[in-house]
Amino acid sequence: MFTIPDIQESHLLAGQRRKLVEELRQKGISSPEVLRAMGVVPRQLFFPRDFEKFIYRDAAFPIGHDQTISQPYTVAYQTQLLQLSTGDKVLEIGTGSGYQAAVLSAMGVRVFSVEVLAPLLKEASGVLKKLDNEIQLFHGDGSLGLPAHAPFDAILVTAGAPEVPKSLINQLKPGGRLVIPVGEKPDNQRMMRITRLAGNQTRTEVFGQFRFVPLRGKEGWDAEK
């Protein structure tokens, strides 16, 4: 279960986080649960040292290994599209800094997250354990999902895919939602939500444009064409 960590936090940071939540509301994030979650996760825990003034800016930021911590708006937007209920079983592909996983945990869901870069996973794991000791982290190619733990109520991909990975749709429960940025170019995607209906039918909805780092792996940009 998510617990707010016992950290010493300056009034400055706490105030900046409140302002960020207000900014997200103005940019169209309307779910009270999502705004609440964004307001309780200390983003500084997932942020590189010495860049304090960037922590609560609504922007992505480099975290090493050519990867980024997602922009808060993007984190909130994807979380809102997932339509989560307390207790849902949720798979995230691309743990990265761990920030999005923490926001999911703060939504009261059970989080499984897969990361392909072992050093990033190790760093994220240290922080996430302090917030939620039930988060389950895995090292590997998340484009194939996590068959051993399927099915999921929701799957969130936080890297840009060339197309929707079939493996991920197959690992949704009926009624389950896959939220994934998809685009022909590695750096420009449309946000998509695919809902698995009864009888293996799916419904696809397409939302706005985003820029994510590429999804690697067998059903990502490393697929054999």
**Which residues are near ligand SAH by CB under 6 A?**
67-70, 93-94, 96-97, 99-100, 114-117, 120, 141-143, 158-159, 213, 215-217, 220
With beta carbons less than 8 A apart as the criterion, state whether 107 and 79 touch. yes
For ligand SAH, the closer of residues 162 and 220 by Cβ is: 220
CB of 173 to ligand SAH, least distance (A): 21
Q: How far is the CB of 48 from ligand SAH (least distance, A)?
A: 12
- Options 70, 97, 105, 167, the catalytic residue: 70
Q: How far is the CB of 113 from ligand SAH (least distance, A)?
A: 8
Q: What angle do CA 218, 114, 88 make, to 5 degrees?
A: 120
Residue 128 or 194: the one with the smaller Cβ distance to ligand SAH is 128
C-alpha span between 99 and 123 (Å, rounded): 11
The yes-or-no answer on residue 105 being catalytic is no
Least separation in angstroms between CB 140 and ligand SAH: 7
Numbers of helices and strands, H then E, in the chain = 6, 9
Smallest distance, ligand SAH to C-beta of residue 197, A: 26
The residue (of 174 and 215) whose beta carbon lies closer to ligand SAH is 215
- For every residue of 110-171, DSSP letters joined together read EEEEEES-HHHHHHHHHHHHHH-TT-EEEES-GGG--GGG--EEEEEE-SBBSS--HHHHHT
Beta bridge partners of 206: 192
DSSP 77: H
Nearer to ligand SAH, 146 or 174 (CB): 146
16, amino acid identity: Q
As a whole number of angstroms, the distance between CA 120 and CA 128 comes to 12
* CB closer to ligand SAH, 89 vs 211: 211
| Whether the Cβ atoms of residue 126 and residue 189 lie closer than 8 Å to each other | no
Active site positions, annotated: 70
